[in-house]
Every structure is written in C-alpha cells, then in structure tokens.
Structure 1
Amino acid sequence: VGLGNHDLDQNGPPNHVDWYRREMRDYVEVNHRAGVFFKPPVPVTSYDVDTDCYSWDWGGLHLVQTHRFAGDTGHGAVSGLPWLKQDLATYAADGRPVILFQHYGWDVFSIERWDAAKGTFDDEGAGAPHWWSEADRQALLAAVKGYNVIGIFHGHQHETAMIYRGDGLDLFKPKAAYMGGFALARVSGDSMDVALGEAVGDHGEIAFTNAFSKSLNF
C-alpha cells in the first residue's frame, strides 16, 4: 500500500485538519506493521512508525515503499530519508537489487514548476515546484548512491504509461489503476523484465503497451 498526493494533501475539518491523512496512514500501518500481539495481513521486514515508510524482501530482492517520496515533509510529515539510509545500510549493503516505490516521478508533470508568465505550473516554469523539487530529487539520489537500485516504480500522472530514464535511474509508470493500468515485473538472478498493460474491452481483455528488459550484475 502506498500513499500519494490525493491521500496526503486532503485536509479534514477545521477542528481535525489531519483527520483524512491520519486515516490513510492508519490503513497502511494496520496492513503492514507487526506488533507484540498483532499480526498484520501483509507483514514487512522494516516499518518506520514516524513516516509509515516500509520495506520487505522477496528472496534476494529488497523492495521499499516511500509514499510520495522519501524526503517528503509536506503537511507536517517527517522526512523518510534517515530511515531510508538506515534501511538500505541494514538490508542492501551486500549489493542485492533494490526496487523503490514512490508517488512522484521524473516525468514532466511530476517535476513541473510555476510559470509566472502563463500563470500556471508547467514544464517551462522557473518558479516554485508544484510537487517535488530538484533538491528533493538530489537528496534522494544521495541517499541511494552506492546501492544497487535497479528501478523505481511511480504513479501520479494518470493517463500515460511510461518507461524512461531520469538521473541515471530506470523509471516505470503504469497507467493509473482506476483506468485499468498495471505493471508486471520479473527479477531473476541475472535480469529484470517489466511490462506495462491495461484492461481493454468489456470481457476482461488486456493489452500490453510498454516493455523493458535489462541484464543485472550483482
């Protein structure tokens, strides 16, 4: 379970402005955080109570969920960068492949800035960032430097499936789930394959739209 701007930007009533955000974060916690007596339906390897970021392992693959992005401090959120650094040092220092999940990407919508001349956010603006900044991206890159990050899966932009590169990273964004989009990924001992697809028609048909494959060394 990952949270995006639609989950974390919504304010509750004036007397409990964080109500909706807290409900969303509680949903993540109850699904993934183990307690002394409580066993969640989908337990994970590491859960950070302060940020609700978490990681888990499938064999020799380490996967990390950071919600909007690891350095997010919007609406009073605690930055997940310190936890991410500790998590990678603990579980991925041996060079095993790592996949990150976050909401924002490197596509033009995710990195748009305020364009004063046009009075809107766009990819030509030079003002304040709409979603996350270049400094946010550089801080994330610094946190993962030296680790074997083989890809980042993100969302945010709804309509278009994309496989692309940004800042030296392989990036994958399926079409939004409510529009029928999905991603399939396979990571083996020496390769990574990703296919993006979507539901089409009225009888359960699917169509694959994008594909990617690369060799892995670790």
Structure 2
Amino acid sequence: PDRVHMPVYVGLGNHDLDQNGPPQHVDWYRREMRDYVEINHRAGVFFKPPVPATSYDVDTDCYSWDWGGLHLVQTHRFAGDAGHGAVSSLPWLERDLATYAADRRPVILYQHYGWDVFSTERWNAAKSTFDDDGTGPPHWWSEADRQALLAALKGYNVVGIFHGHQHETPMIYRRDGLDLFKPKAAYMGGFALARVTSDSMDVVLGEATGDNGEVAFTNAFSKRLSF
C-alpha cells in the first residue's frame, strides 16, 4: 500500500537542480538527485534498473523509452540546460530522435519548464522582480533556449510536451506549433491522464478533491494523429 504499483519515470526540476550543497561539495544535492535517476533507469552489464530506459545519456541523465510505437523522452528542466555546469542534452536529443523517431512515429517530450507566462518571465528592472512584462534576463529559460529546442524537434512528429514548474493552474495550450500540457502540481493533488492510439491522442487533467479517492477533471483535449 505504500508503493506506486506502476513504472515511474523520474524527471528533475529546478527545485532538484538549483539546490547547492555545502561549500566543500556544492554539487552534492544535484549529484544525489541525478544518481537517483540513473539507478532507476540506466541499465548496465550486470545492473538491471527497476524501470529501464531505451536510451540513457550518462552525461546529462536524460533518457528515452518506447511504449509500442510511441517514443517518449525525459529531458528534466529542458533539453539544452547548462545551468550549474550541466552538459547540454541537445546533441543527445538530436541523436535520440534520429535513431528512434525518424520513421515519423509520435513523440512525447517531458520537461520541467513550459511556455506559460511564469516559465518565460524576465527581469523587470522597474519593479525589481521577474514577471511577464520584464525585458531583462530570463528567470528560468530564454527565448534562445526555446528556439534551440524547436530546431532539434523540427521534422519529428512531436504530438505533445508535458511540463510542470507552475504549481497552481492546470493548463492545456499551444505555442510554437506544439500542444502543451501542465497539470496542477502533484503535491496539490494534480495529475494528467493520456491515451495515445494509432490515430488519436486524448488528454485530461484532474486533481484529487477529497480524502476518499474523489477526483475532479478540469481540462480535456483530443486530436487525430497522422504519421
């Protein structure tokens, strides 16, 4: 009863990767979190992880897996993240898609940051804060970061990106030709359910509403697929 009886694919966000350890080992916390991803998903010669990935990039801890004809990719904060000395995963993502998705099969990408106003906010010097009216440096990821990701995805059948970061508001929206899905944060009871078939994709966002298993569905989406 105290375990999730489904395969769990781990993704890291800013709360995992922005935390510094003590001065003598500043990357300690980040390394612990990345190690957790690796032991859950990276297969070795002798070690068999509980949820093995199809492809695992040791340098970035990004990985991908396949469910039938569906290719899924986890890139943590975002592909191209170089914060705190991280290695950009864009070269790995390009190789992964060329290897596993060149046949136009549907691809779903998971990352922490989105295209919502919180994820794209910039420094507002007049108000001394980050907000959606700012024109200064980005708070989380930049327009250049987004354009680099879009360039890596160009030509592939990316049917959706699921992201987090903004906690309170469930969202289904479209930006830069991509369908984007963000449930309410899990610690607030939020979740997403998705079904992908050979010719369609359906997504609903919901949240727990009581102490006895009650749920409420807040957003829904459906589209036809072609590949």
TM-score, normalising length from structure 1? Answer: 1.00
Alignment of 1:118-197 (within 5 A): 118-197=127-206
Identity %: 88
Q: How far apart in 1 are the matches of 2:170 and 2:145? A: 24
Q: How far apart in 2 are the matches of 1:6 and 1:202? A: 27
Aligned-residue offset at 1:204:
1.2
Q: Deviations over 1:107-140 (max 9, x none)?
A: 0000000000011000000000000000000000
1:91 maps to which residue? Answer: 100
Q: How far apart in 2 are the matches of 1:195 and 1:41? A: 27
Aligned-residue offset at 1:81:
0.0
Residue 3 of structure 1 aligns to a residue whose secondary structure is coil
Residue 43 of structure 1 aligns to a residue whose secondary structure is coil
Residue 141 of structure 1 aligns to a residue whose secondary structure is helix
Aligned-partner residue type, residue 149 of structure 1:
V
Q: Deviations over 1:156-182 (max 9, x none)?
A: 000000000011100000000000000
Q: How far apart in 1 are the matches of 2:210 and 2:198? A: 36
2:114 maps to which residue? Answer: 105
Residue 195 of structure 1 aligns to a residue whose secondary structure is strand
Q: How far apart in 1 are the matches of 2:212 and 2:73? A: 34
Aligned-partner residue type, residue 80 of structure 1:
S
Aligned-partner residue type, residue 176 of structure 2:
D
TM-score, normalising length from structure 2? Answer: 0.96
Q: How far apart in 1 are the matches of 2:175 and 2:35? A: 32
Question: Which of 211, 214, 221 lines up with 1:205 in the alignment?
Answer: 214
Q: Deviations over 1:65-98 (max 9, x none)?
A: 0000000000000000000000000000000000
Aligned-partner residue type, residue 208 of structure 1:
F
Aligned-partner residue type, residue 63 of structure 1:
L
Q: How far apart in 2 are the matches of 1:97 and 1:213? A: 15
Q: How far apart in 2 are the matches of 1:123 and 1:142? A: 24
Q: Deviations over 1:38-86 (max 9, x none)?
A: 0000001000000000000000000000000000000000000000000
Structure 1 unmatched ranges of 5 or more: none
Aligned-residue offset at 1:202:
1.9
Aligned-partner residue type, residue 51 of structure 2:
V
Q: How far apart in 1 are the matches of 2:100 and 2:69? A: 10
CA-atom RMSD in angstroms: 0.3
Residue 95 of structure 1 aligns to a residue whose secondary structure is coil
Q: Deviations over 1:2-56 (max 9, x none)?
A: 0000000000000000000000000000000000000000001000000000000
Residue 208 of structure 1 aligns to a residue whose secondary structure is strand
Question: Which of 55, 59, 67 lines up with 2:68 in the alignment?
Answer: 59
Q: How far apart in 1 are the matches of 2:103 and 2:210? A: 45
Residue 152 of structure 1 aligns to a residue whose secondary structure is strand
Runs of 4+ in 1 over 6 A off after TM superposition: none
Aligned-partner residue type, residue 42 of structure 2:
R
Residue 164 of structure 1 aligns to a residue whose secondary structure is strand
Aligned-residue offset at 1:145:
0.1
Residue 198 of structure 2 aligns to a residue whose secondary structure is coil
